Amino acid sequence: MRRIVQDGFGGTEQLRVETAGIPEPGTGQVSIRVGAVGVDRGTWHILTGTPPIGRLGFGLRRPRAAFRTPGRDVAGVIDALGPGVCGWEVGERVHGTADGSLADYVVTSVDRIARPAPTLNLVEAAALPISGLTAYQALRDAAVGPGQRVLVVGASGGVGHLAVQIAAALGAHTSAVCRAESADLMRALGASQIIERTSAALPTEAGPYDVVLDIASNRPRRELRALLTTRGTLVCIGTEAGGLTSGLHHSMAAALLNPFVSHRLVMHISKELGSDLAELDQLAEQSGVRPRVGHVVPFERAAEAIDLVGSGRAVGKTVVEVDGALWQESLEARASVATSTPPGDSPSSRPAPLA
* pLDDT over 80 (residue 332): no
User: How far is CA 66 from each of CA 6, 69, 107, 200, 325, rounded to the nearest angstrom?
Assistant: 11, 7, 11, 42, 28
Predicted pLDDT of residue 327 = 84
Cα Rg of the chain, angstroms = 21
- Please say whether the beta carbons of 162 and 145 come within 8 A: no
Class of domain 2-128+290-340: alpha beta
Output the average pLDDT for the chain. 89
Model confidence at 52, in pLDDT bands (50, 70, 90)? Answer: confident
Model confidence at 45, in pLDDT bands (50, 70, 90)? Answer: confident
Predicted pLDDT of residue 338 = 57
* pLDDT over 90 (residue 330): no
Instruction: Tell me the pLDDT tens digit for each residue of 8-37.
Output: 999 999 999 999 999 999 999 999 999 999
Instruction: Tell me the pLDDT tens digit for each residue of 72-127.
Output: 999 999 999 999 999 999 999 999 999 999 999 999 999 999 999 999 999 999 99
Predicted pLDDT of residue 162 = 97
Model confidence at 319, in pLDDT bands (50, 70, 90)? Answer: very high
Nearest Cα neighbor of 96 from 306, 275, 268 is 275
Secondary structure of the chain: what % helix, strand, coil (to 5)? 35, 25, 40
Q: How far apart are CA 280 and CA 157, in angstroms?
A: 18
**Mean pLDDT to the nearest integer, 286-293:** 95
* pLDDT over 50 (residue 354): no
Superfamily of domain 131-267: NAD(P)-binding Rossmann-like Domain (3.40.50.720)
Q: How far apart are CA 220 and CA 212, in angstroms?
A: 13
Q: Which residues contact 235 (CB under 8 A, 6 or more apart)?
A: 138, 141, 142, 211, 212, 213, 214, 266, 268
**Mean pLDDT to the nearest integer, 172-191:** 95
> Can you name the residues that pair with 81 across neighbouring β-strands?
30
* Enclosing H/E stretch for 44: helix 41-48
Residue type, 83: P
Model confidence at 245, in pLDDT bands (50, 70, 90)? Answer: very low
* Domain extents in the chain: 2-128+290-340, 131-267
* pLDDT over 60 (residue 256): yes
Instruction: Tell me the pLDDT tens digit for each residue of 271-287.
Output: 999 999 999 999 999 99
Nearest Cα neighbor of 262 from 225, 299, 311 is 225
Predicted pLDDT of residue 32 = 98
Q: How many CB atoms lie within 10 A of CB 245?
A: 17
What's the pTM value of the predicted model, to 2 decimals? 0.88
Q: How far apart are CA 68 and CA 18, in angstroms?
A: 12
**Mean pLDDT to the nearest integer, 311-334:** 85
Q: What is the DSSP letter of 213?
A: E
